[in-house]
Amino acid sequence: MSSSMPPDQVAIEWFFPDRPELRCGLSLRAGGVSRGLFASLNLGGSTADRPEALAENRARFYRAAGLEPATAVRMHQVHGTRVVTATEPGDVGEADGLITAAFDLCLLATVADCLPVYLADPEAGVVGVLHAGWRGVAAGILQEGVAAAVRNGARPESLRAMIGPGIGPCCFEVGPDVAARFPPESLRPGRRERPHVDLPHAARAELLRAGIPAAAIAGGERCTRCGSERYFSARSGEPTGRMVAFIVRSDGGPARSAR
């Protein structure tokens, strides 16, 4: 993965840099016009940010990421397991995953501590993005995402998965009711008596269970709360902004250099 800082100072963290046909990344919090708790590139439409700031932020984001707003596919995330196969731009309603085998559809998910998980089968031309918070991971969103990719022509053994930045085991303290939703291997001792969930570990385990080879699963090392100067984190206890995870498959283009 790599990050870039275009002239307008909007930062993008890029993934799959070895696949020039994929434009895949995550917006970071720098380079926008939002203020206060939402500073600065807040892209969360459900937040209490100023509408004019959100509009400007979105314009900057699309420009920096090299995306066309008219090709975007959006969803209303509900921490569930519905995964939609996208065949055209627009709003698919309540869902937490998007899959497509079409060229030039930009799949979007908003995150702030929940994991963005990207799927790509370069052989089949299938891509996807999943919104994987603890509820979704525990309920099976990742296995549903892989199953949807397979229905669109992907094979689990040729899929690649990237687990983007999210809340890390260092910061994800939970109560016993949440801890009980996860296997012991995905729990870590906390500084107090309450356990911590290793959400990236749990996500990786689900992807493995769905048939993706271990060598084809990457990411999950960066904690959004620890890196709050770079990422938005909802675990601060105060209102905060949102980042956008995106993936689109084109017919090729220049690869992005790591910077």
In a domain, 192, yes or no: yes
Does residue 7 have a pLDDT over 60? no
What pLDDT score was predicted for residue 258? 33
What pLDDT score was predicted for residue 236? 77
Q: How confident is the model at residue 9 (pLDDT cuts 50, 70, 90)?
A: confident
In a domain, 254, yes or no: no
CA distance 119 to 19: 13
Domain that holds residue 31: 2-249
Mean pLDDT of the chain: 93
Please give the structure tokens belonging to residue 202: 């749990």
133-155 pLDDT, tens digit per residue, is: 999 999 999 999 999 999 999 99
Of residues 228, 212, 14, 233, the one with CA closest to residue 115: 233
Nearest-5° Cα angle at 168, 164 to 98: 30
In a domain, 257, yes or no: no
What pLDDT score was predicted for residue 138? 98
pTM of the predicted protein model: 0.94
In a domain, 15, yes or no: yes
Mean pLDDT calculated for residue range 153-177: 97
In a domain, 256, yes or no: no
Q: How confident is the model at residue 5 (pLDDT cuts 50, 70, 90)?
A: very low
In a domain, 259, yes or no: no
What pLDDT score was predicted for residue 8? 54
* Residue 208, domain CATH: 3.60.140.10
Q: What is the DSSP string of 157-213?
A: GG-EEEE-SB--TTT-B--HHHHTTS-GGGEE--SSSS-EE-HHHHHHHHHHHTT--
CA distance 58 to 99: 22
In a domain, 243, yes or no: yes
When mean pLDDT is compared across 148-152, 173-177, 248-252, the lowest value belongs to 248-252
CA distance 93 to 86: 11
CA distance 130 to 114: 10
Nearest-5° Cα angle at 84, 81 to 88: 160
Does residue 239 have a pLDDT over 70? yes
What pLDDT score was predicted for residue 149? 98
In a domain, 237, yes or no: yes
51-66 pLDDT, tens digit per residue, is: 999 999 999 999 999 9
Question: Percent of the chain scored above 70 by pLDDT?
Answer: 94
Q: How many domains does the chain have?
A: 1
68-111 pLDDT, tens digit per residue, is: 999 999 999 999 999 999 999 999 999 999 999 999 999 999 99
178-215 pLDDT, tens digit per residue, is: 999 999 999 999 888 899 999 999 999 999 999 999 99
